[in-house]
Homo-oligomer: A and B are copies of this chain.
């Protein structure tokens, strides 16, 4: 119960960040890296548009920031939270960083790489599989993305 409340709280925080990203014209996705005790090390939003960099997905930025903050080359004792199922690039980065757990919100049947697409963590070419908890606050996360793309049409 306490764990569930913590997870809900983190996803609410990230959805607020994702909304800020949407207001800046970014696909609304936000991510965090936490220590195993739940302490937040880094939070980031998508910044592809603002930074003019197609690789600046929230997950990549938050992993880079957590590595910088912790001065470590990997994040074995850390968890990654993100409002949308990670893509292929980000799933690969999560494996390279050896993150302990992956918590994500909405499923991404088009470009996701965890439960959809290449299902990277289930493949023999994946050297590290985090514990995976998908679909957290999935309806709210998906609504935010739908509203963003509807408004842009």
Contacts and interface: CB of A to CB of B under 8 A. Distances in A.
Given A53-B67, A88-B92, A110-B125, 17 more contacts: A52-B71, A54-B73, A54-B98, A55-B96, A55-B97, A87-B96, A88-B118, A88-B125, A88-B126, A89-B92, A89-B95, A92-B113, A111-B127, A112-B125, A117-B123, A117-B125, A118-B120
A111 to B, nearest CB: 6
Nearest to A72: B52
30 contacts: A49-B73, A52-B71, A52-B73, A53-B67, A54-B73, A54-B74, A54-B98, A55-B60, A55-B63, A55-B93, A55-B97, A87-B92, A87-B125, A88-B89, A88-B95, A88-B113, A88-B125, A88-B126, A89-B89, A89-B92, A89-B93, A89-B96, A91-B92, A92-B113, A111-B125, A111-B127, A112-B125, A116-B125, A117-B124, A117-B125
Query: What is the predominant secondary structure among interface residues of chain A facing chain B?
Result: loop
Contacts of A60: 55
